[in-house]
Structure 1
Amino acid sequence: MTSIPVDATAFATFDMQELSAETFDAALEAADDALAVVFFWGLDCFNCEVAKKAMLTQPEAIRALGLKWFHSNVYVHRDLGRRFMLHGVPTWFFFHRGKRLGRATGWHGLAQFEAAVAAARSKIHAAGGAEPVADAK
């Protein structure tokens, strides 16, 4: 079986910090008031590579969402896949101050992803929280 090479361009383009089970909670806490998103992906995941390539076609629109980006290969960090009961990748989870706000499963285009971001921000607002800083990286 031939492995699909991992294209790390999206990780670098969006300044995604890699997470493991050991670093997960501390990294999200360090994101402070930013809306954080964790991109869960897997090695040899064709749809993960498609999602990264699609994101790279619209880097300014993705950056304009003002997210603090993280990523984790759940095929390597299986404990994170179990912790979040992942049944498939790619999946993005949104967090604010360590609290999970929602998720997006599969890449269904920028509009769907923007809607997931807006839903997460509305949960922050509904809870009386301040709007996350829009230009957080």
Structure 2
Amino acid sequence: MKTGFLTAAGLAAALVLSGCGGKDDVQGKTGEDITAKSSAKDIGEAYINEMTRIADALEGVDDEASAKSAAKKIKVAVDGLNQMSEELDGEISGVKGMQIFGGRYAELVQVQGRIATSMIRIQSEHPELMDTISAEMDRMEN
């Protein structure tokens, strides 16, 4: 089992695109909307939306029931991110990355910070819940 801190650090540092999802709780593009022909704007929107879905799920974790619920939501987001990565062949050049995130860098940093903060909070306040959450988080492709 990976520690919660390693998972949080790995996820917060993950800039490699992945993805698919569902629109159940997301406004705008999700990973399932992305194809190899998608614009940089759409890819960035989908990536940030899927990461926001993860952050939102993690912020509500405070007991076993909420951890299980969050794991289901994280699964959808990670599936979206992984599908997106496969669609884009897992490769985003430095220039393409700048196009995707250049104008949304502050948003990206904010959502990654939310994820890292939540993972650290859960690890310190509810370490017994980390297995439930980490199982889905660890599925994110690099």
Q: TM-score, normalised by structure 1?
A: 0.31
Which structure has more relative contact order (CA 8 Å, sep 6+)? It is 2
From the two aligned structures, give the one with the greater strand fraction. 1
Q: TM-score, normalised by structure 2?
A: 0.30
